[in-house]
Chain A
Amino acid sequence: AAGVIQSPRHLIKEKRETATLKCYPIPRHDTVYWYQQGPGQDPQFLISFYEKMQSDKGSIPDRFSAQQFSDYHSELNMSSLELGDSALYFCASSLGGAQRFTDTQYFGPGTRLTVL
């Protein structure tokens, strides 16, 4: 079965640079979520989108922005990178509509971002 695809899998950036992470949800899934998992920590919810609109916002820094496109893929844009942004970034997807708050979230493999 098709899974959530994230690219790139690994990314190395310098401080103050920008980074863009991409997420391609499971086919027919129209809801996308972004999580940040720091070293030795549990995943923290950043933001979610349903039908190309932001649906919930968590602990996403103002330096980060995200959007969902017409094909339902999503991009997380990170600017003015800091050392503390080094983490594993997960994207998850689920069915939307009436099920968007109840359907299980399926996670992608994650993008490991290292900020030097």
Chain B
Amino acid sequence: AQTVTQSQPEMSVQEAETVTLSCTYDTSESDYYLFWYKQPPSRQMILVIRQEAYKQQNATENRFSVNFQKAAKSFSLKISDSQLGDAAMYFCAYRSGDNNDMRFGAGTRLTVKP
């Protein structure tokens, strides 16, 4: 079964600086999708960024980018120019290419210091 590991329960970053959140996963599949979701105190689950495993190019969405290392099964999230509104729980998620089951990591709580 696929597993997703986030080894950093908590991280903090100074406003305007850059932080990287780590995620590794275990799978024997070749077709899959990886996501980062953000869950602020409101508990809403908000999609941050998505990466298709077949794409070599790292996904980027404004201040958010990923470092996808397929061979190492690593999928880290980099947040540049951190803002106070980035403070939230961040979940890494894996989805197989042939079913609807999405697996989440345990989450990393990000604190942004003014």
Contacts and interface: CB of A to CB of B under 8 A. Distances in A.
A44 B44 CA distance: 15
Interface residue tally of chain B, by bracket?
20 to 34
B33 interface: yes
A87 B79 CA distance: 29
Contact of B43 (A45, A58, A88): A88
A88 B100 CA distance: 20
Contact of A107 (B44, B95, B98): B44
B100 A56 contact: yes
A70 interface: no
Interface string B44-86: 1111001010000000000000000000000000000000000
B35 interface: yes
Q: Chain A interface secondary structure, helix, strand, loop or mixed? A: strand
Interface string B91-107: 10001111111111111
Contacts of B100: 31, 33, 45, 48, 50, 55-56, 100-101
A34 to B, nearest CB: 10
A43 B96 contact: no
Contacts, number: 58
A72 interface: no
A43 B91 contact: yes
Interface string A27-42: 0000101000000011
B106 A109 contact: no
Contacts of B43: 88, 109-110, 112
Interface of A: 31, 33, 41-45, 48, 50, 55-56, 58, 88, 90, 92, 100-102, 104-107, 109-110, 112
The 3 A-B residue pairs whose C-beta atoms are closest, nearest first, are A107-B45, A42-B104, A48-B100
Given A42-B105, A100-B100, A101-B99, 15 more contacts: A31-B100, A33-B102, A42-B91, A42-B106, A42-B107, A43-B104, A45-B100, A45-B102, A45-B103, A48-B100, A50-B100, A104-B47, A105-B102, A109-B42, A109-B44
